[in-house]
Amino acid sequence: MLLIKCLTLVLVCLCDHRLKAESKERKHVICYHGTWSAYRPSYGKFDVATDIDPFLCTHLMYAFFGIQENGDLRIIDPYLDLEDNYGRGNIRKFNSLKMKNPTLKTLAAVGGWNEGSKKFSIVAADPEKRARFVQSVVELIQRHGFDGLDLDWEYPNQRHRLGNNDRENYIALLKDLKEGLEPFGYLLTAAVGSVQLSAEMSYDIPEMCKYLDVVNVMAYDLHGPWDQAVGINAPLHAGLADNTDYTRQLNLEAIVKYWLSKGTPRNKLVIGVPFYGRTFNLENPLQHNVGAPHTGRGIPGSYSREPGVIGYNELCELFQKEPDQWHLDWDEQQMVPYAYHDNQWVGYENEESIALKADYIMAEDLAGIMVWSIESDDFRGICSSQRYPLLRLINNKMHGDLVLDLQKDVNYEPLSLPIIDSKFIDNFQCSSENGYVRDLKNCSKFYFCDSGFTYNFECISPLKFDINILACNYPNLVDCN
């Protein structure tokens, strides 16, 4: 199985796929991709092969796959995802991005809001269905070349009335998944509800952290049309109107403190930020401060077309088209922007608020930052001097100039790069032990030993083979001595 896997990866690095997140190592930038954006009109249409920059994310999440009540995984959009029957083959295109950046990890995200909670609850409550789900996950990962699974059950013990013990069954599901994925070195991550009131209903946090490589906390959707007053989607700090125990939970700072207080390791805790805002119809256009009354969801984005939600790319284009109509403002307590025009109001993110969130995450020495979702950034550079202004800013905060340098330095020549060479470099030959060996003279070269046979590999320039994670890695993170 290992040998077949090695031969089918058209990459120079054969990864162990284990994530060892130390504070001194590179921070995670985890990017979700909503696959339905392929159907958006005009400049909102998103193509995974040409519009994703694989150097701006450490992990890419393919969202979403579904789950059936018998435990099988479900391909939600076979025409888009697969190549069968003249399909568009987006899964293959998505995972082929690792040919450009061999340090990139891709994960299959299962669930999401629209998939609901009921089917997860049914599967998690039944050991046989859990086993079937694990088998289905492993088969999907191996068939399509993902590096792991992201479990996005929204949310255990909520949104259904089955009477199952979801809080305990969620742990059982994670345990079974870990036991099924770990022998292959696959990653297991989860997207989880953020606020204390919700998290206490759904999660035994110390137990779930035993099995997860990364905990992606969705620190957004903290205010919306379900509130009586307009509010910011993802405040950094509490606001002046947050005068109850519950409302003081509705900000990134409180969320981080809660998850840390429950024992979440810093090197597993990743905080999600939104690349979209929430819009409202003001009840009175003359009352437009945070906390003003509203009558419901506001304008949709011109591409996403969902009332009450607007992507950063859609909003910045709207501001460009109507520069004299929108009033842009800033909440000094919550450290986030908002804007209003006539009876329309929107709380959103811009480069300043994203930078402040990234600074906070770095100051807390957390594992990194997660974004929902990359197709809502200004990925064409219509409003900015460059593509992906928000995502590039995050990378600059997390990694400095490392990503930009790598983009310039990596030479990708798939046709001329020798993946497996029949000649042994420096006449190296494997002993009786199986595993990986790095070349003593060239830090970019390594060997895979399998039952006495020797297979030679070389990392794409300028990457080096990292013996600690058994993968090609950035030069400044590898000790070649």
Residues serving a catalytic function are 154
- Cβ(205)–Cβ(259) under 8 Å? yes
Q: Are strands 73-74 and 28-34 parallel, antiparallel or unpaired?
A: unpaired
Say how far apart CA 74 and CA 78 lie, in whole Å: 9
- Cβ(166)–Cβ(159) under 8 Å? no
- Cβ(437)–Cβ(446) under 8 Å? yes
Say how far apart CA 321 and CA 310 lie, in whole Å: 15
Q: Please, which residues have CB within 8 angstroms of residue 240's CB and are 6 or more apart in sequence?
A: 333
Say how far apart CA 308 and CA 300 lie, in whole Å: 6
Q: Are strands 59-67 and 105-111 parallel, antiparallel or unpaired?
A: parallel
Q: CA torsion angle for 207, 209, 211, 217 (degrees, to 10)?
A: 130
- Cβ(378)–Cβ(313) under 8 Å? yes
Strands (E), 254-403: 269-274, 276-282, 294-297, 309-311, 327-331, 336-341, 344-347, 368-372
Say how far apart CA 434 and CA 3 lie, in whole Å: 11
Residues present in the chain in total: 481
